[in-house]
Amino acid sequence: MLVLDDTPFLLLEGYGWLPGLRRRARGPVVRTRLMGRRTVGLCGPEAARFFYDENNVHRRTALPEPVTSTLIGNGAVHHLDGVEHRVRKAMFMSLLTGVGVGSLVAHTGVAWDEAARTWGDGRQVVLFDEVAEVLTRGVCRWAGIPLDDAEVPALASDLTAMVDGFGSGGPRHWRGRLARRRREAWLTDLISDLRDGTDTAPAGSAFDVVAGHRDAGGRPLAARTAAVELLNVIRPTAAVAWYVTFAAHALHRWPEQREALRDGDAAHAEAFVHELRRFYPFAPFVGGRAVRDLSWAGERIPAGSLVLLDVYGQNHDPELWDEPYTFDPGRFAGRELGAFDLIPQGGGDPDTGHRCPGEDITVSLVRALAVRLARLDYDVPDQDLSISLRRVPTRPASGFVLAAARRAVPRPPEPPPRRRTSRPSPAQ
């Protein structure tokens, strides 16, 4: 059977491409080709369990070069499997879980409060751009990376360009490539300076830990590889700008959500963030390679096939979620999530598998900033808030423009009235 290459249709259809193929397929496995590779598509919690089993699917060599050159970087943990992957992953888990989460959220909260004070002058700001700078400033302070305030806008622009370029073949993609190349060189120099004693880093900071990490064989990482991984600590934090902008979009469309967030209801805030990650699109799918001849739901998957797990499709599957195209944080109230149910950042065990080690940080950051956003007094001027499912990664077209209410400037106190004193007359 002749199967045409579907790459042009993926670029045209975006998030709807794989769900569309699945609707037209006659079985549980979609068969197609991408970039000349034999490809199969799967969906659902059991498919996720199958996909994240390293005895079935490896990530090594599966990530396409355009994604590596923008989002991930050459030599990153995403390309590893087995012991090498677990040792490198342990480094990330030590930084991105436990006390590290609270510390990063605290730094970012301070950066938000500093920025928000400048929004209340009545001018319009693009929330996506502002939040990207807030997150960049917060994560670099937390990570111990030396960065002047004047450098923040350029770095934030580069970090978001890397994320914005992974799903595009045009100018966005090339901006992402150049941004990654520029920032890898910058961090390579910083790491080299740290290692030769020219510079210092706070003990236990991400800068210190990544620069000193040793691989499974006990060897220090090459400076460039360490730079790639340090970038993979700070770049995902900047990507949280997408979710915070989606939070603003959700609060605008469903203003009834604002009150519970404003009141600081922790359970509602957690459910709100989970629903954001389910409802709004980010990664359309994830991919790996079949390590041997496999069988899934009675369908043969030949060794070497590219295996795609439909993330967007699973997050909107009516068999998993009642009314999946309705925004309803209540669906997560008291719900125990399985490791393969909600998978916007991967499935399985983050300690040993390929689930994103920064998922706890994403949830915690969005939760904290969504509450701050709900408490902010602002107007939403007319703008294009459409979210195109053809653009990967997508976001509101306008970036969400807001105009924060002017802060009342306290008037200086009136000077006390001058007391008149009588002077003796010349006759006295």
* 427 is a domain residue: no
pLDDT of 415 reads 47
pLDDT tier at 410 (50, 70, 90 boundaries)? very low
The 3-state DSSP class for residue 93 equals helix
β-partners of residue 180 are none
With a CB cutoff of 8 Å and minimum separation 6, the contacts of 407 are 117, 120, 121
For 23, the domain range is 7-383+390-403
- Asked if residue 361 has pLDDT above 80, the reply is yes
User: Does a structural domain hold residue 362?
Assistant: yes
For the chain, give the mean pLDDT: 89
Looking up tokens 């089993």, which residue turns up?
53
**CATH number for 207:** 1.10.630.10
What is the total count of domains within the chain? 1
pLDDT band at 64 (very low <50, low <70, confident <90, very high): confident
* Domain assignment of residue 163, yes or no: yes
CA distance 96 to 214: 18
Evaluate whether residue 410 is within a structural domain: no
In this structure, what DSSP letter does residue 223 have? H
Give pLDDT tens digits for 236-263.
999 999 999 999 999 999 999 999 899 8
**Given pLDDT bands bounded at 50, 70 and 90, which one contains residue 54?**
confident
- SS3 label, residue 235: helix
**Residue 131 in domain:** yes
Does 423 reside within a domain? no
Instruction: Confirm if 308 and 321 have CB atoms less than 8 A apart.
Output: no
Is residue 417 a part of any domain in this protein? no
Residue 354, pLDDT > 80, answer no
pLDDT at residue 423 in the model? 35
The pLDDT tens digits for 290-326 are 999 999 999 999 999 999 999 999 999 999 999 999 9
Whole-angstrom CA distances from 171 to 25, 178, 353 are 33, 11, 33
Cα(57)–Cα(290) distance, integer angstroms:
5
Instruction: Classify residue 180: in a domain, yes or no.
Output: yes
- The interaxial angle of helices 99-119 and 82-96, nearest 10 deg, is 50
Contact 384, 356 (CB under 8 A): no
Q: Among 19-23, 61-65, 389-393, name the one with the lowest average pLDDT.
A: 61-65
Three state DSSP letters for 379-413: ECCCCCCCCCCCCCCCCCCCCCEEEECCCCCCCCC
The pLDDT value recorded for residue 284 is 94
